[in-house]
Amino acid sequence: MLAGGLIAGFAAGLLAALLHFAFVQELILLGEDYETGAVVHFTGAGEAAEATGHDHDVAGHDHGDGTAAHDHAGDADEGSALTRNALTVLFTALIYASYGLILVAGFALAEHFGRAISAREGLLWGIAGFVALQLAPAMGLAPELPGSVAADITERQIWWLGTVLATAGGIALLAYGANVLTALAGIALLAAPHLIGAPHPEGFYGVAPPEVAGEFAARVLGVGLVAWAALGWLTGRLWAQDEA
């Protein structure tokens, strides 16, 4: 059980890391350029921005006094880009390995209750895992581009965890539930985190441009979907081989 989840997890993690460097990393670096003040949002902005009367001096672009939620200025200096990217590959593989373990635990639970798991079920589980661990939390807490602002980290982590558990439980009830009542309970679980609402900051004063943040969030979710689908399919395939 362990081996299949770990192998599939590391493989999916490497795929995710590859896609990360193809689509996401450049936007993180660009966000950090805004975060550290190396690049300033609105500088050289077109006439449209001028016409809307934005005051460029006070629009939250004051990088000097540390009002940004987090200071990454040292990150680039401390380690070379190579070390930084190697760590990203390592941790991406680790995080997908942990997803893989949670998936096989779910497979084992499903088989315990007499449901067979094949590569096809694995694919569906992978997509469900993407929804539970990435898409649903992202609907309240969009993937954060460096240079964005967000509410208190502990509150966000609590909402994130609650949303993941509720969404996973809701999908499981919808997929494997026996009757209308379990389906209704599943829908209630899916909706609950969003009715409660994610913690948000009191004001928005992120220094990174919304255009970059939007593209970042969309790419993160796209990469996540592909990697999770591959993870689920491969985990299911290895699982079915093990059982055979």
Q: What does the binding site for other proteins look like in residue numbers (CB under 8 A)?
A: 1-2, 5, 20, 24-25, 28, 69-70, 72, 75, 78, 84-85, 87-88, 90-92, 94-95, 97-102, 104-106, 108-109, 112, 134, 137-138, 141-146, 150, 153, 156-157, 160, 220-221, 223-224
Given the complex with other proteins, which of 54 and 115 has the nearer CB atom? 115
Given the complex with other proteins, which of 129 and 186 has the nearer CB atom? 129
Nearest approach, Cβ of residue 114 and other proteins (Å): 12
Nearest approach, Cβ of residue 159 and other proteins (Å): 8
Given the complex with other proteins, which of 50 and 152 has the nearer CB atom? 152
Nearest approach, Cβ of residue 88 and other proteins (Å): 4
Nearest approach, Cβ of residue 52 and other proteins (Å): 30
Given the complex with other proteins, which of 88 and 118 has the nearer CB atom? 88
Nearest approach, Cβ of residue 76 and other proteins (Å): 11
The secondary structure of the chain, three-state, reads CHHHHHHHHHHHHHHHHHHHHHHHHHHHHHHHHHHHCCCCCCCCCCHHHHHCCCCCCCCCCCCCCCCCCCCCCCHHHHCCHHHHHHHHHHHHHHHHHHHHHHHHHHHHHHHHCCCCCCHHHHHHHHHHHHHHHHHHHHHHCCCCCCCCCCCCHHHHHHHHHHHHHHHHHHHHHHHHCCCHHHHHHHHHHHHHHHHHCCCCCCCCCCCCCHHHHHHHHHHHHHHHHHHHHHHHHHHHHHHHHHHC
Check if the beta carbon of residue 12 is closer than 8 Å to that of residue 228.
yes
Given the complex with other proteins, which of 157 and 241 has the nearer CB atom? 157
Given the complex with other proteins, which of 3 and 188 has the nearer CB atom? 3
Nearest approach, Cβ of residue 109 and other proteins (Å): 5
